[in-house]
Chains A and B, each alone.
Chain A
Amino acid sequence: MKAKIHVTLKQGILDPQGKAIEHALDSLGFKNAANVRVGKYMELDVSETDKAKAEAQVKSMCEKLLANTIIEEYRYELV
């Protein structure tokens, strides 16, 4: 089973990279782009056929390592 994981800074936490990209988009003429948030995308294989078990494992991975939940939030899908 493949896990597709997105980690982003929590809402309300300043994302300086997002701001810089927003300014760059603005100077390129994309005046309607706003609230750019930069994050990480990770893919990994879980050798587990039971979806609930795989999900519990991926959640644990996110909590323990892949995201720092003080500043980041995560979401994932299993395919």
Chain B
Amino acid sequence: MNIGVIVFPGSNCDHDCEHVFKDVLAQNVTMVWHKEKSLVGLDGVILPGGFSYGDYLRTGAIARFSPVMSAIKEFAKSGGLVMGVCNGFQILLEAGLLPGAMLRNRSLHFVCKDVHVRVENAATPFTGACKPGQVLKIPIAHAEGNYYTDPVMLAGLQANAQIVFRYCTPDGRVTLEANPNGSLDNIAGIRSAEGNVLGMMPHPERSAEELMGNEDGRLIFTSMLESLRNRPLKMVGA
């Protein structure tokens, strides 16, 4: 597979994503500078974590105007797999590819630690290798991961199984104490209504190999690759 990693000015997890796909999972990776206008030839796209445009105005608010974002919208519209991690998630929200917005963490602190998330929907292209309800340990590192949406949209997300990950205790209980940032309904990751766009605050690329002492995050990437292998023979995003 040829996976595109989008590089915005201020992205800083781009090479971690590249490393996982290239060195751990033996895939081709194309680093895509944000000025690119085409994603032709890519099978899937990752928007990595970081501080695009210095988080000026709001996280992800300026990155959404990068030229590559029009191509990403087209790519997503044609069914291509798009995944945003941390700042990538924030950009997808600002771009309207996923619903909702991020608020400052309830604690006001930048929180950098391992958290546990429960797989709420194991039937997505990004979680097919997980068991329903499986608990994954994946680190977070953000100051603005306090997911918010209005009650109507939240009900919609719940009804359509768009909540993919929720913060939980190590034994899988979704509790207030297990919520590291005040996120609504303990939301750690959501998918689009069509299912081919995923946003998540935890960093699976930081927990995808034995060397790092944790391989849980790798399931996200292997799920993605597996669903790309099984997709109908139709080029997306061309």
Contact = CB atoms under 8 A, between A and B. Distances in A.
Interface of A: 9, 13-14, 16-17, 20, 65-66, 68, 70-71
Nearest to B148: A71
Contacts, number: 32
A17 B108 contact: yes
B102 to A, nearest CB: 8
B101 A16 contact: no
B148 A13 contact: yes
A14 B107 CA distance: 11
Interface in B69-108: 94, 100-101, 103-108
B106 A65 contact: no
Nearest to A71: B101
A68 B61 contact: yes
A20 B50 CA distance: 26
Interface residues on B, range: 10 to 19
| Interface of B: prevailing SS | loop
20 contacts: A14-B103, A14-B106, A14-B182, A16-B103, A16-B104, A16-B105, A16-B182, A17-B104, A20-B108, A65-B57, A65-B61, A68-B58, A68-B61, A68-B101, A70-B100, A70-B101, A70-B148, A70-B149, A71-B101, A71-B148
Contacts of B104: 16-17
Nearest to B181: A16
A17 B100 CA distance: 20
Contacts of B105: 16
B150 interface: yes
